[in-house]
Amino acid sequence: MTKKITERASFGSKLGIILATAGSAVGLGNVWRFPYMTGENGGAVFILIYVICVLLLGIPCMISEFIIGRHGQSNTARSFRLLANGTPWALVGYMGVLTGFLIMSYYAVVSGWCLQYIWASLVGHLQGDPEYFKTYFAALSGDPVKPVIWTVVILGMSYLIVEHGIRNGIERASKMMMPTLFILLLIIVAASCLLPDAGKGIEFLFKPDFSKITSDVFLGAVGQAFYSLSLAMGALCTYASYFTKYTNLTKSATQIAVIDCLVAILAGLMIFPAAFSVGISPDSGPSLIFITLPNVFQQAFSAAPFVGYIVSLMFFVLLSLAALTSLMSLHEVATAFFEEEFHTTRKHAAIVVTTTTIVIGAFCSLSLGATDTLTFFGRSLFSWFDFITGQIFLPIVGFLTCIFIGWFVDHQVVRDEFTNWGELRGRFFHLYIFLVKYVCPLAILLIFLHQLGALN
Ligand code: TRP
């Protein structure tokens, strides 16, 4: 067993750790979900609560996953098993892996749409009136073939990266993709904020109207914080197993959370000023980026159509990069699991994961219009996956992880990991334990109950 530990791959540098893990966190959640949630939930107040939730709840949960992963030096299931000492707590790890695997299938479908939109912007298909964008999206997502092909393409890309291992695959790819993503983001933000009347959008994002706080806004923000940081799906735990014993877990978690918030807010600054400048309301929900946004860019830059074309193209490249870095972290969760639990090679494991995901992803995609047979109880397979992973498994795994670390695992083990075996002072250890023991589980329980209530 010692042999296994010394042989285990690890990230090569601190920067690699931050960029790869931030790559997992920064995804469609930041660029797609965050802006429409902000639009629907009153703008600045939502952002304020979201940032507080990330700092107060997100960081402690992230540190807990890091502790479990780095302690276990293995895939999520095995890492939980090691700390669980033969108790059923090990099941939480298996559930994390399963959640990661399921979310990956539908995440791949949406990531595929992003690639399709790059292509569409490139060849000039993203031009027309508002009605056109609606039909374009409906036709794409309901098409039996095209989205499946794009899903296969993006999973193929993710496969190629994951197959190359941690340093040569995931770390190298993150070091190229994340800076590119940042540069594109800043360029689009600048273009959007320079538009006439952009100030109204900026005000919407930064001037809180406290009368808009409701329990929905509050719980929406807690949920968004968890989703956005990639918590409770085995991803952070798996990545942490490739950290070194010198990695400062608290500092890394804080840096990653700050990057994640920053990208989300910049995504808002990319979308809202442009939307307000052409008088389009930003509360159109999930279809915001695929339907409203191409139209917004087209209208906002109507005086210089070429700029509009470039901005729209850059936007979808950015979106695809964000999606791919998250997708590959999910790919890694399942790949590490198969590789280590079934004692096979990384390549084999990655192939099994890719093919299975392609099959499940194809069904998810087909359930969106190509056939009625994949709709159960009025919900398409796609939306079942989204619902079960995001609203059931995520809170359950998140809740149990906090309870596991806060109440079950020996605090000396937790402290050792927290302070790198006494190397660091661990000034915030007591605060961390307090948050993980009481505050985080309670907050997660509240969102869970709220979501179940919203079911009826
Ligand atoms: N955090 C990702 C995003 O913002 C979404 C996500 C949730 C995720 N859980 C994950 C990505 C687990 C990778 C792994 O889009």
CA 109 to CA 277: how far, in whole Å? 31
Closest ligand 1 atom number to CA of residue 30? 4
CA of 284 to the centre of ligand 1 (A): 22
- For residue 260, the model assigns a pLDDT of 96
Residue of 158, 224, 228, 230 to mutate, ligand 1, most atoms within 8 A of C-beta = 230
Q: In 3D, which of 176, 200, 198 has the Cα closest to residue 189?
A: 198
Per-residue pLDDT of the chain (456 residues; tens, 9 = 90+): 444 444 688 999 999 999 999 999 999 999 988 988 898 888 999 999 999 999 999 999 999 999 999 999 999 999 999 999 999 999 999 999 999 999 998 899 999 999 999 999 999 888 888 888 888 888 888 888 899 999 999 999 999 999 999 999 999 999 999 999 999 999 999 999 998 889 999 999 999 888 888 888 888 888 889 889 999 889 999 999 999 999 999 999 999 999 999 999 999 999 899 888 888 877 766 677 888 888 888 888 888 888 888 999 999 999 999 999 999 999 999 999 999 999 999 999 999 999 999 999 998 888 887 677 777 777 788 878 887 887 788 889 999 999 999 999 999 999 999 999 999 999 999 999 999 999 999 999 988 888 777 544
The pLDDT value recorded for residue 370 is 66
The closest-lying atom of ligand 1 relative to the alpha carbon of residue 227 is 7
Is the CB of 329 inside a 6 Å radius of any atom of ligand 1?
yes
Task: Give the distance (Å) from ligand 1 centre to CA of residue 326.
Answer: 6
Atom of ligand 1 nearest to the CA of 24: 13
Going by their DSSP bridges, the two strands 379-380 and 375-376 should be labelled as: antiparallel
Helix H, strand E, coil C: the string for 133-193 is HHHHHHHHHHCCCHHHHHHHHHHHHHHHHHHCCHHHHHHHHHHHHHHHHHHHHHHHHHHHH
- The Cα–Cα gap between 281 and 296 comes to 10
19 lines ligand 1 (CB under 6 A): no
Whole-number Å distance, alpha carbon 422 to ligand 1 midpoint, is 32
* 425 CA to centre of ligand 1 in angstroms: 31
The model carries a pTM of 0.92
Q: What tokens appear for 448 in the block?
A: 């869970």
